[in-house]
Amino acid sequence: MTLIDETPIATGSERPDVHAWVAQVAELTQPARVVWCDGSGAERHRLIAMGVRKGTLEPLPEPHYGSYLVRSAPDDVARVEDRTVIATTDPDDAGPTNNWRDPVDLEAELVELFEGSMRGRTMWVVPFSMGPVGGPISQLGVQVTDSLYAVLSMGTMTRVGAAARELVEAGAPWVPAVHSVGYPLTDEFGQQVREDVPWPSSDTKLIAHFPESRQIWSYGSGYGGNALLGKKCFALRIASAMGRDQGWLAEHMLLVRVTTPEGKQHHVAGAFPSACGKTNFAMMTPSLPGWKIETLGDDIVWMRRDSEGRLRAINPEAGFFGVAPGTSEATNPAAHQMLWGNTIFTNCAQTADGDVWWEGLTPTPPQGLTDWRGEPWSPESGKPAAHPNARFTVAAEQCPTLADSWDDPEGVVVDAVLFGGRRATTVPLVAQARDWAHGVFLGATMASEKTAAAEGTVGEVRRDPFAMLPFTGYNAADHWGHWLSQGEQLGEHAPALFSVNWFRKDDDGGFLWPGFGDNSRVLEWVVARLEGRVDAVDTPAGLVPRAEDLTTADLGLAEGVLEQLLTADPAEYAREADGVEELFAGFGDRLPQAMRDQLAELRSRTAGDGGTA
């Protein structure tokens, strides 16, 4: 049985009839029933009632009106990067940072996995739009899934419903996405072989992407980006390849509107690795009087040049799939306030009165907690009560800092892009790129500590180019080349590029910078640079603020701290260059010459003094 059309899809080409495709997937997976989703409120209520009866959803008490707690299987709690693959005809098109698979071999494996995988289950068909339906930057998809959790979450995270379905049925381009938890309930003769469970999943997990034919097949996991295929799979891995081919950008970024006390508006995008402060930044409450930050998106940004040559951006999602631990009224009041109701909480702890709790929500844990596995918990348990990757899924419209133009199909003009990793040393608080090529170099070489959202050792530092290491659907070096070409085409309309680092530490391991709302002080300097009102010091890191140009007098920083925050030590950057050279070596001839030139420039600057720009 042929599942994957190996012919690369040309720009603007049309898909086969969606009903024929659904019938083909149903023939393979053999569900008991097929249900088309309409995205209505009535449908959501029916699905929630079904989830409560099944035991997947546990209703929460006030104050979380209409909210539910979900506990996943203990082995299905995060992305599975080692089982996330990119299938391309040429292995070099996937590149060294992706797990490459041959499309023909992968198709054979998928046929074996998906054959009968939905027996005894419902196959839901979810037509959806990433971005406002019909918008110039938006894209369409259709996900089929046997996961109730995935259907409910896709209804929050994307625009599901009749409008998207009508465009797909009319022949508009769309991305097919097939998902199964791999937990059939009956055999091939219709005889029940096992009971259903609240969180079905499989020991075998495989998340497969075909960027050439724009298809996604995900098996075995019901969690997060493994199952909500409009998110990382479509909006980043497949969309990044679409952007390369069609001349736009799909990036792992937040998007905010910054309004100065004088009423001037600027739009800023920012690339930050998962659980590294993106949501806090996207919903920031500025500590500077008169400044306003409004949320446009917290995770994914699509950017395309408009008719005037400017870079316009949308948030293609319709909701937030945020990391719960660390979120509180103190750290992120907007996020905390938007969770008042209509929210699905996943793998959080539960209080004695049935409410949700996670580390950081309150200074001390309440008595009588049940952990994310459903087991009694106390501080003596020696493990977190909530899973470190516990999540909340909530509609964007509940965010109190949401900008009024967040769902404008035309998007907003991007004035600046920030690249922010988690570095205890070396990288200064903020630095502006000298030019576009240097900015691409900053994005390509950013590094961050691993987080609970990805498998691996928490705290280990790894290079994370553009915060896209797990998400670029093609060769990362070609991604950098694509950014370079976008800069050439944007010319004078190109946004300014900056690096930021909120996480620099002192010798005792304490953070030097207070972060959170005080990051608005860095944005104040970024805006001043955009408006040409301040100079900067040229360092190996780029153009760094003069101390007097940052508003910090009221922060009470200890003597020498600001100087340390703004230091880009040549000796440390010489070592940084060694790490960059090691990264670049893996890309061979695919590495753009401009990146080699930037590395040579960095090595040159580590031996000299800076100046003023």
248-277 b/e (C-beta count within 10 Å ≥ 16 → b): bbbbbbbbbbbbbeeeeebbbbbbbbbbbb
- Using CB atoms within 10 Å of the CB of residue 288, give its burial: 0 to 12 exposed, 13 to 18 middle, 19+ buried: middle
* Chain-centre distance for alpha carbon 457: 20
CB contact at 8 A, 378 and 442: no
580-603 b/e (C-beta count within 10 Å ≥ 16 → b): beebbeebeebbbebbeebbebbb
Does 348 participate in catalysis according to the annotation? no
Q: Enter the tokens of residue 461.
A: 């530092």
Taking residue 502's Cβ as centre, other Cβ atoms within 10 Å add up to 25
CB contact at 8 A, 172 and 47: no
What does the alpha-carbon distance between residue 354 and residue 356 come to, in Å, rounded to a whole number? Answer: 7
Alpha helices, H only, 201-332:
224-227, 239-246, 278-282
What does the alpha-carbon distance between residue 463 and residue 440 come to, in Å, rounded to a whole number? Answer: 14
CB contact at 8 A, 375 and 313: no
CB contact at 8 A, 385 and 377: yes
CB contact at 8 A, 255 and 301: yes
Question: Which of 233, 276, 348, 399 is flagged as catalytic?
Answer: 276
Non-local CB neighbours of 276 within 8 Å, separated by 6+ positions: 420, 421, 422, 448, 449, 451, 467
Closest CA to 469 of 489, 447, 487: 447
Amino acid (one-letter) located at 549: D
Q: Catalytic site residues?
A: 276
